[in-house]
Structure 1
Amino acid sequence: MSTPPASEFPHAPSLLRRGEPGRARHVAVFNFPRFGHIRPTLPVVRELLRRGHRVTYFAAESYVDAVAASGADVVPYPSSFPDAVEPVHTPEELSGLLVDFLREGLAALPAARKHLGHQLPDLVLEDALSTATSALIARDAGCPVVRTFAGFGGNDEVSLDGGEPAPENPLLPETAIIERAAEDLFTSLVPYGLDEAGFEYAQRGSAVSANLVFIPKALQPYADRFDDTFAFVGPEPGPDTGALRPAPDRDRTVLVSLGTSATANPQFFRGCADAFAGSGWQVVLATAGHLGAADVERLPAGVETHDWVDHDEVFPRMRAVVCSAGAGTVLDALRHGVPVVMVPQQPDAVTFARHLQKLGLGKTLNPEEATGATIRSAVEAVTADPAIGRNVARMRTEIREAGGSVRAADVLESLWPRTTTP
């Protein structure tokens, strides 16, 4: 097995001293290639930078600009993870999905080993779905690992979708497919210092020192099953606007957004626009590029369309939000005091949507049964229900009190030793 040049292998004998009082620290961030996973970490990055620390963020190439806007030192890596994860029905489909996760987990290793060879981090921040490369870098550096959860927190008792640990999947993957992919992946990464023991270690992941969950604890199912290593810091609450004072046009304005991971579905947007036409509702569509120019031309007059919207700018004038139950959009709606109608597009969003409905924060519709008419009916129901209004206002308060990026940065700083290590 070949050995890479010492300059690219970070088991360096002259480690920088850690724990020096007042010294700026270095945090390396690894994340999963979804904006919903990346976005909640960016306020934490900005807060660390504000405190004088250094942040190196390893980002899939398509997210480099978004991460760079936080001020972090961004290191791109090529990601081949699919844009949308379809439901799994066969052993072959399950095998393919597992291979996708396997490859993505180590996709950042070449860039990380090359970039961090000259200065190891004092702490590694990893996403719950991206733990392989981060485990190896943390082992190289001998530093703590903190895991982040964009949606529900997960542990041995609670799954990432907020439910009890699922029974064993009745589908058995095609192990030969996975083994071939693993062998090819391992061979390709040998020049970057990966050996067989390291490959096995990467698949197990590191023991973590703390966990940051970007939802308030009041939104977490089975919250009593999480120990004090879990900090439910919530999303960044944004500026304090005091009591809710809806803009004059808020009473009859609805945002419709499916997010970036949904399958392109122009008919969904057209159906919503047609259903609200002539009803006195103003409709804003955030299409994420799912509507072409010809589709937009066929929309009823008065419908406002954008590829993307700034939630902090748009949500204050919304009376309701129709979305795919992505955690980022839902939490932004709640922190602005806006109820939600959810039409989950991805398997992991189904349980999230059902849980929010159970908490009385909105309504959930089955995608196969959702039409413009049923969506309009659900919007009118959630906006007229005083109990939902009270629940949303209470959750808005929970988000504001969770602590956001300031509390998250406090957790990270608490893990650095106070005395100089030899």
Structure 2
Amino acid sequence: MWQGVIVRDVTRLIMASIPLLGHLLPLLPISRGLVERGYDLTFLTGSALRGQVEATGARFRPLKGTADFDGTRIPETFPEFTDPDPSLHRRDRGARYLWIPPIPQQHTAMQEVLAEGDPAETVVLHEGFFHGLWPVLLGAEGLRPAGVVCLGVSVLTLSGDDTAPYTVTLPPDDSVAGRARNHELNSEVQRRFAPVQRHLETCLAVTGAKKKAPYYWDAHSLLADTTLLLGVPGLEYPRRGLPAHISFAGRPPVADRAFTPPDWWGDVEQASRVVFVTQGTVNNSDFGELVSPTLEALADSDALVVATLGGRPVPGSLVVPRNARVAPYLPYHAVLPHADVMVSNGGLGGVHAALAHGVPLVLGGETEDKPDVAARVDWAGAGINLHTGTPTSSTLEKAVKKVLGDRYFRDNALRLKAEYAAYDTLGSVVLSIERSLH
């Protein structure tokens, strides 16, 4: 429920996201809420996502050139990203081939949208992997808005001696020895990342940026005037001395959407125990990674297993046991109220949705930030981290049974559910907008 919202008579907003559905989805309820409160909102993202944006009431603007990619076709569009180049860590490849190269085109598109109105009366809100404001924030010529608010849709990637660096999935340790360990690991990771950092500098130089960029993963939260982390402290490692402009804002509730249940939905509503399995919104080219092994693992259990395929059709080759139901797509808000455990590849959006409903998790994932997400869920006691993206059926069976049989996981998930419920995300966003204009 939105609370404590103050609205100016006229405020021009620009919202921006890279064209990946998992990055866009958390912004959509915020976009809808801002439009409903009278803000003039233009949304800048990929052409393929136009329908989702316009459904919120926002004015759509497409990205430019290579920045306007189709997020459902990453392997075809960015083959280097999926190439197992041993010289780059798997998550360094994402920065090198996906997140950094579009910066010049993002910058051009953002400047065009800023020019459509008065930049001095404009606030830009962008998710953390859209870097189209970095050039002007680092001294490039161009229009600068009155305020820049970063909406953090990933785990906090900021480095520091409180935690091991992003991409190194070690639990926090703020003892003297632990801080020394963290310092050494951060230095080592930044040395490893140096070739990608040089590529960032090259891309920024094309735009005319004059200042040296911070370490790439630090820049995500440091460059904006305000950074709102779309999550809760209970799912993030504690840090001392977090910069004052960085704060948590909870996760926006997903707006109710029309849901036409499949003809077997009554089975879900009547089941005494439901296990929900998904590979998220993107990684659905091979259901053998998680969906099929989970169906096989629980084929003889007393649970009803519900699987969703990220919008893809159910393949004829998928073996569906008698106690399983499969749909191309099911909205989280429909299925999670019935779920006792969720099996996931660790996509952060799905993890937030599960925990906001008090549902514990079993997580297996190896790409992007998924290992870091799984490590945080494990640390919070709200699920089991399988430490692999291709778990066996036997491993999955044991993990699901452990989560179902131990109240420890459910209790921690319920603790986090209460934490999510305490936040007013839209109210925090509106407050940041108003502060930017005063």
TM-score bracket relative to the smaller structure: 0.7 to 0.9
The letter of the residue matching 2:387 is N
Match of 1:282 among 304, 325, 347: 304
The reply on whether 1:47 has 2:45 as its aligned counterpart is no
Question: Whole-Å Cα distance in 2 between the matches of residues 154 and 97 of structure 1?
Answer: 13
Deviation at 1:99, TM superposition (A): 4.8
Q: Counterpart of 2:187?
A: 167
Residue segments in structure 2 that go unaligned for 5+ positions in a row: 1-6, 76-80, 173-181, 257-267
Gap change, CA 1:182 and 1:362, over 3 Å in 2: closer
Q: Counterpart of 1:90?
A: 87
Q: Counterpart of 1:391?
A: 412
Matches within 5 A, 1:211-226: 211-226=227-242
Q: Counterpart of 1:68?
A: 54
Question: Whole-Å Cα distance in 1 between the matches of residues 241 and 270 of structure 2?
Answer: 43
Bigger Rg, structure 1 or 2: 1
Question: Whole-Å Cα distance in 1 between the matches of residues 253 and 89 of structure 2?
Answer: 42
Match of 2:328 among 302, 307, 310: 307
Answer with 103-112 or 136-145: which moved more: 136-145
Deviation at 1:336, TM superposition (A): 0.9
Question: Whole-Å Cα distance in 1 between the matches of residues 86 and 276 of structure 2?
Answer: 33
Q: Counterpart of 1:143?
A: 146
CA RMSD of aligned residues (A): 3.6
The letter of the residue matching 2:143 is D
Question: Whole-Å Cα distance in 2 between the matches of residues 172 and 386 of structure 1?
Answer: 41
Question: Whole-Å Cα distance in 1 between the matches of residues 135 and 32 of structure 2?
Answer: 24
Deviation at 1:324, TM superposition (A): 1.0
Q: Residue by residue, what CA displacement relative to the aligned partner does 1:115-169 show, whole Å, maximum 9, x if unpaired?
A: 4323144111122222234653996134111112113234352655687573344
Question: Whole-Å Cα distance in 1 between the matches of residues 194 and 159 of structure 2?
Answer: 22
Gap change, CA 1:173 and 1:414, over 3 Å in 2: closer
Check the 8 A contact 1:233/1:403 in 2, yes or no. Answer: yes
Q: Residue by residue, what CA displacement relative to the aligned partner does 1:262-298 show, whole Å, maximum 9, x if unpaired?
A: 26222232222122113221111111256652223x3
TM-score by length of structure 1 reads 0.78
The reply on whether 1:231 has 2:247 as its aligned counterpart is yes
The letter of the residue matching 1:79 is D
Check the 8 A contact 1:237/1:399 in 2, yes or no. Answer: no
Answer with 98-107 or 376-385: which moved more: 98-107
Answer with 89-98 or 322-331: which moved more: 89-98
Q: Please give the secondary structure, in 2, of the residue aligned with 1:356.
A: helix
Q: Counterpart of 1:130?
A: 130
Deviation at 1:313, TM superposition (A): 0.9
Question: Whole-Å Cα distance in 2 between the matches of residues 27 and 134 of structure 1?
Answer: 18
The letter of the residue matching 2:187 is P
Deviation at 1:407, TM superposition (A): 2.4
Match of 1:362 among 345, 365, 383: 383
Q: Please give the secondary structure, in 1, of the residue aligned with 2:362.
A: strand
Gap change, CA 1:68 and 1:223, over 3 Å in 2: farther
Deviation at 1:74, TM superposition (A): 1.3
TM-score by length of structure 2 reads 0.75
Gap change, CA 1:52 and 1:156, over 3 Å in 2: same
Question: Whole-Å Cα distance in 2 between the matches of residues 52 and 325 of structure 1?
Answer: 36
Q: Please give the secondary structure, in 2, of the residue aligned with 1:402.
A: coil
Question: Whole-Å Cα distance in 2 between the matches of residues 181 and 156 of structure 1?
Answer: 22
- The percent identity for this pair of structures is 19
